[in-house]
Structure 1
Amino acid sequence: MTAEATRPAAEGTRLEELWDILPEESGCDERGVLTIGGVPVDALAEQYGTPLQIIDEKGLRRQIRRFVDGLRERWPNSEVLYASKSFPVVGMYRIAQEEGLSVDVAGGGEIKLALAAGVAPERLHFHGNAKSDDELKIALDAGVGTIIVDNEDELDRLERLLERPQKLLLRVIPGVDAETHASQATGGDKSKFGLPMDQAKRAIERMQAHPLMEFEGVHIHIGSQILNTRQFAEAVANLSTSGEFETYDVGGGLGVKYTYDEVAPSVEAYLDAIVAAARQHLPEGARLMIEPGRSVIARAGISLYRVLSVKHTGRAFVAVDGGMADQLDIALTDQRYEAVVANRMLEPWTESVQLVGRQCESGDLLVDGAGFPAARIGDLVAMATTGAYSYTMTNNYNGALRPAIVFAQDGEARLVARRETYDDLLRLHAPALEA
């Protein structure tokens, strides 16, 4: 399956710009077929079917090291957590563990997946604004390293459930209205997450007084897909009003480049902004933590589809065998993407098309105005920068099946999650079938 790949800038295309949003280890073989990790995508489609999530493993690991090594060089007493809600897959948890990341989990299911991957429980940090008794029991029984407390009702639960010492952080509201989609902003005064500073001080006193609660510090998160690094620095500065503690977790949220015209900060610029603010506002020697998720995995992943229908009515419509069942983020957050005909990369883009999915909603629009050669039935279409949240938000709308996931590296591919089957769907309904 190995292919020699180059990165051409074919005339009549925007390929030169497209390489900036496709995975780092992507290219084009002599047939004009997109390759990921040295593997042609048509070979992957033949072996694993479509829709298919393809992850550039080498590029992913390289991006992780940018965060881990970069933060350690700037602030030695540091820890990088992978915000696993962005791509909660056993194969991904395993890579995070191997590359030195701790892991941010936000529910009982993510705890179970991380543990199944072999992540050491003490490297898990459990988030959530409404943790149930059952989820807290799962975390406590597993020996999760840190629980990030969101509210005083959660403290009531922990007082009932704790039987041994437990490390805790408290989520506070930093008062930063992030420049992002409203559904992705979490740091403003009206956020559902965390406590304002006055209530936070009361909760901190309560934790410090409890014999089994090992309060270590505070946590903030201002939102997701943030492209202005000054906002991260502002949030760190605002943390200084919460007090002096052993640990400051400043969250994640670094945005990525999704479209040709978007500009996103580098990992280095992001780390420079955070650490400069920490040196100015936080106690020297405190532990500094960050939680990148989207910016770790987004670019490393593509979604591969097969064209099922081409028609010219009011617009040119190209319909593929996926849609909002595996790209819900488009409808939820108005996220924009780019796409390419992956088996005809070198042909001029002669049409502007509406790339649509197969779900029964007019809002099932994957790309508005994609530049394509004249599409044909059976063509392969790759959506770029879909490593984050695409698989996370997959669903069974119209009976859709969750796609398979493969990791590609050095000309080889490996399956890390099989495609969902109709038998999987029916298994949930066994009680009704057996009645």
Structure 2
Amino acid sequence: MRAHEAGILHADGYGTTPHWLPEPEDLSELMPRLWAVNTRRNAAGELCVAGVPVTAIARDFGTAAYVLDEDDFRARARAFRDDFTAPFEPIGGADVYYAGKAFLCTAVARWIMEEGLFLDTCSAGEMAVAQRVGFPPERIALHGNNKSRAELRQALQWGVGRIVVDSFAEIDRVAEIAAGLGTVAPVMVRVTVGVEAHTHAFIATAHEDQKFGFSLVGGLARKAVDRIVAKGESLRLLGLHSHIGSQIFDTSGFEIAARRLIDLHTEVADEHGIAMPEMDLGGGYGIAYTSEHDPLTPQQLGQQMGELVERELAVFQDAHPEAPVPRISIEPGRAIAGPSAFTLYEIGTIKDVEVTADLTRTYVSVDGGMSDNVRTALYGADYSCTLASRTSHAEQRLVRVVGRHCESGDIVVMDEYLPEDIAEGDLIAVPGTGAYCRSLSNQYNHTPRPPVVAVRDGVARVIVRRETIDDLLALDVDEPTPSQEVR
């Protein structure tokens, strides 16, 4: 939308329906790619997950709540594991690291472990979750652009399988800590490959002007490799790592990234005689949040990426026919967790606002908002929603679903069609909130964070409990000093 010097209300196109949002023929119909596989409506029109109606979930666990289909989550994890195995088998195989930053708790870590995936972490807290469930440390990666000494020590003492180094200072830091512990740290180099992923600027992570990794420009990535090789007594170079961004819908960017990583991989083999055993192409695979999104399936991703990596690796194999090819790894997070969950809200205030002489906006306020889903405010992310607690045969109207917080930017769903007869107490569900919603949640306005309710085989259970006011107050320290004591 173009800006206007007199303000946004005067901009061309303001107030029009998004081009990708068609008027639905049936408001009760669910678009399968937006929802977990076990989500459907019963005869009363109630949304059900694995046989459990949302009215029962609201009654037993309250709203707002994240509702997670466990079988759907596990199935998506298995799909990535299996659909990347066959295409990569001819070129050394592939490992799938679940990106814990998308959503992680002890139950999810256990599911990932049981389904045979690896786990990518980026903090002491995420490592602690994995440690609590007995996750094999050799299947753990540690990321981050500013890992603390304590986190690095924790990782090395535990024996994580890889540490992805992100700066020259960190290379020296890891080497120093490893030497002090009498161990050799397995490290990968985060390479900024210069690929502009077609996504929001804040989640495009492979262009040069951002905080992550070593750029290929100026030979910084090569210098990082050289420094690691020089510290061979305490560092073991596993390979190169890249992540080009998030919410990506085609593999062309990965092809360029792979080509540039393999060029550097070949250069290192020529110079140092080292055939690095691993190469990580990151994640960032997109999901469907609205009808405009049509993501690739894990099978399509596996096939396309297997072909492009094999094609690019041929150059290395021609130059080094005796050297083993690197084992490829990927890091899906959103693509596993995102579609597996939705957020359940209860409607409170409904307000019609006369925006202009030609535009009246209906604001539907719910009992959550930017404290449980900040992505709309942070990225301008689009979501869909549906009336979840009953059937309605009323006419439809375009509404804006907003939260309860003291911010005008507290928007949950920017534009969506809901029935004309929606009312206070109705439940609505917002799909695609399994990733980066609970992880980015906050306590704005001293709002306790919602629970995560997992559903499987007709049984709903809490895997992350709802915060309470007591939880919020437990961190406050306000003991009176002697001079303040009341006598």
TM-score (norm 1): 0.94
- TM alignment of 1:6-405, pairs within 5 A: 12-16=25-29, 18-76=31-89, 77-162=93-178, 163=181, 164-197=183-216, 198-210=219-231, 211-244=233-266, 245-282=276-313, 283=317, 285-314=325-354, 315-345=361-391, 347-348=393-394, 350-373=396-419, 374-405=421-452
Task: For residue 151 of structure 1, report the CA deviation from its aligned partner.
Answer: 1.1
Contact (CA 8 Å) 1:256, 1:295: kept in 2 or not? yes
Tell me the CA shift for residue 345 of structure 1. 4.5
- The residue identity in structure 2 corresponding to 1:100 is G
Percent identity of equivalent pairs: 35
Q: Which amino acid aligns with 2:241?
A: H
Structure 1 residue 434, shift from structure 2 partner? 5.9
Q: Shift of residue 144 of structure 1?
A: 1.6
Amino acid at match of 1:71: F
Q: What is the rounded CA distance, in whole Å, between the counterparts of 2:280 and 2:353 in structure 1?
A: 52
For 1:49 and 1:340, locate their aligned partners in 2 and report how far apart those are by CA, in whole Å.
Answer: 18
Q: Please list the CA deviations of residues 211-250 of structure 1 after superposition, one character each: whole Å capped at 9, or x if unmatched.
A: 1211110000000001122112221122122124211100
Rounded to whole Å, the distance in 2 between the matches of 1:351 and 1:393 is 31
What displacement does 1:32 show? 0.7
Q: Describe the superposition over 1:41-67 as per-residue Cα deviations: whole angstroms up to 9, x where unpaired.
A: 110111011110111111111111110
**Distance between the aligned counterparts of 1:294 and 1:238, measured in 2?**
25
CA distance in 1, matches of 2:113, 2:130: 9
Distance 1:433 1:418, change over 3 A: farther
Does the Cα contact within 8 Å between 2:192 and 2:215 map onto a contact in 1? Answer: yes
Q: How many Å separate the matches in 2 of 1:82 and 1:247? A: 17
8 Å CA contact 2:240, 2:265 repeated in 1: no
For 2:208 and 2:352, locate their aligned partners in 1 and report how far apart those are by CA, in whole Å.
Answer: 48
Structure 1 14/241 Cα, relative in aligned 2: closer, same or farther at 3 Å? Answer: farther
**How has the CA–CA distance of structure 1 residues 348 and 80 changed in structure 2, closer, same or farther, with 3 Å as cutoff?**
farther
Tell me the SS of whatever aligns to 2:33.
Answer: coil
- Cα deviation, residue 263, structure 1: 1.8
CA contact (8 A) 1:224 1:252 kept: yes
Partner AA of 1:263 in structure 2? D
Larger radius of gyration: 2
Letter in 1 for 2:134: G
Deviations 1:246-281 (A, max 9, x none): 111000000011101222222222222221121012
What do the CA deviations read for 1:316-335 (whole angstroms, capped 9, x no partner)? 11111000011111111111
Question: How far off is 1:199 after superposition?
Answer: 1.4
Please provide the CA RMSD for this pair.
Answer: 1.5
Deviates most, 287-296 or 225-234: 225-234
Q: Which runs of 5 or more structure 2 residues have no equivalent in the other structure?
A: 1-23, 267-275, 318-323, 355-360, 482-487
Query: Higher mean Cα deviation, 341-350 or 396-405?
Result: 341-350
Q: Is the 8 A contact 1:318 1:375 kept in 2?
A: no
The one-character-per-residue Cα deviations of 1:292-316 (angstroms, maximum 9, x if unpaired) are 0000110001000111111223221
- The CA distance in 1 between the partners of 2:133 and 2:57, in whole Å, is 24
Q: Distance in 1 between matches of 2:336 and 2:244?
A: 17
Which of 122-131 and 15-24 deviates more?
15-24
Distance 1:276 1:14 in 2: 41
SS at match of 2:111: helix
Match of 1:427 among 443, 450, 474: 474
For residues 287 and 346 of structure 1, what CA distance do their matches in structure 2 show? 53
**C-alpha contact 1:93 1:119 (8 A) present in aligned 2:** yes
